[in-house]
Structure 1
Amino acid sequence: MLPLTLLHTAAGHPMLVELKSGETFNGHLVNCDNWMNLTLREVIQTSPDGDKFWKLSECYIRGNTIKYLNVPEEIVDMVKEDESRQRHQSGRGRGRGGGNYNNRGNRGGRGQNRGRGGSNIGTVIGARGGNQQ
């Protein structure tokens, strides 16, 4: 499971963000970009000592300042379900057989020692694959 996939799924849900400085932010995730910069709404900010609190309507948190993210377990379950559904769907439509031989009888590429001089074992492997020319 990729962290950005998890964060994109968590949009609109509550989460806790702890910064490297020790400050914490509790709010609803609005947006996340590729650098893990976050925008939160309805935020409660807590000082590093935990003795001061601020209520913010919206805040922007730079991704490289984040130490820890706490996302609801239901979001993690949603991402797991989506990933398993995508794996299941990508397995359909491939047909029977399998293998990645590029219809050439060898294993893709140049084969062993082909083009290096000395041995023609790449050609032998190609002939054994059933594609006689």
Structure 2
Amino acid sequence: MWPLTLLNSAQNKPLSVELKNGETFNGHLVNCDNFMNITLRDVFQTSADADRFWKLNEIYIRGSTIKYIRVPEKLLDEVKEDQHRAREAQRARGGHAGGSRGGRGMPTRGGRGGTRGAPMRGAARGRGRGM
């Protein structure tokens, strides 16, 4: 299961975030991006030493500061089931569940890919300079 798939499925659901500095945030996920930056609403923030609490309407948390994210176990089960159904549907259509194998993006000759017959540069021609 991909973390971003799980986070995208968790939109508008409650989750708990602990930062590397020990602070925790409990709220509902509004949005997340590819860097795991997240926005939470209706948030309860707890200090690292757990002696102070704050209620916030909304907060933006940079993904690089996150230590872990806890989502409801029910959501984990739902996402696993959705992925299993998608994999089965892909197999039924005769495709590969793990993505493309061969085809686009894979070199057909040599190891460089690219256009056949294109000139190569530098020492890759088989001769170094000055020979």
Matched length: 101
Distance in 2, Cα, partners of 1:39 & 1:26 = 11
How far did 1:92 drift?
A: 1.4
AA aligned to 2:23 is E
Distance in 1, Cα, partners of 2:81 & 2:31 = 22
Distance in 1, Cα, partners of 2:69 & 2:27 = 11
AA aligned to 1:3 is P
Distance in 2, Cα, partners of 1:75 & 1:51 = 30
How far did 1:68 drift?
A: 1.1
Structure 2 gaps of 5+ residues are 96-100, 110-131
- 1:53 — aligned with what? 53
Percent identical pairs in the alignment equals 62
Q: Match of 2:92, SS?
A: coil
- 1:15 — aligned with what? 15
User: Can you list the C-alpha shifts for 1:45-85, whole angstroms capped at 9, x where unaligned?
Assistant: 00000000000000000000000111000110111011100
- 2:72 — aligned with what? 72
Which of these two proteins has the greater Rg computed from alpha carbons?
Answer: 1
Q: Match of 2:34, SS?
A: coil
Distance in 1, Cα, partners of 2:93 & 2:6 = 28
Structure 1 gaps of 5+ residues are 103-108, 111-133
- 1:24 — aligned with what? 24
AA aligned to 2:80 is K
How far did 1:93 drift?
A: 2.7
Distance in 1, Cα, partners of 2:29 & 2:37 = 11
Q: Match of 1:17, SS?
A: strand
Q: Structure 2 length normalisation: TM-score?
A: 0.72
Q: Structure 1 length normalisation: TM-score?
A: 0.71
User: Can you list the C-alpha shifts for 1:77-129, whole angstroms capped at 9, x where unaligned?
Assistant: 1110111000110011329xxxx8x9xxxxxx57xxxxxxxxxxxxxxxxxxx
- 2:89 — aligned with what? 89
- 1:105 — aligned with what? none
AA aligned to 1:2 is W
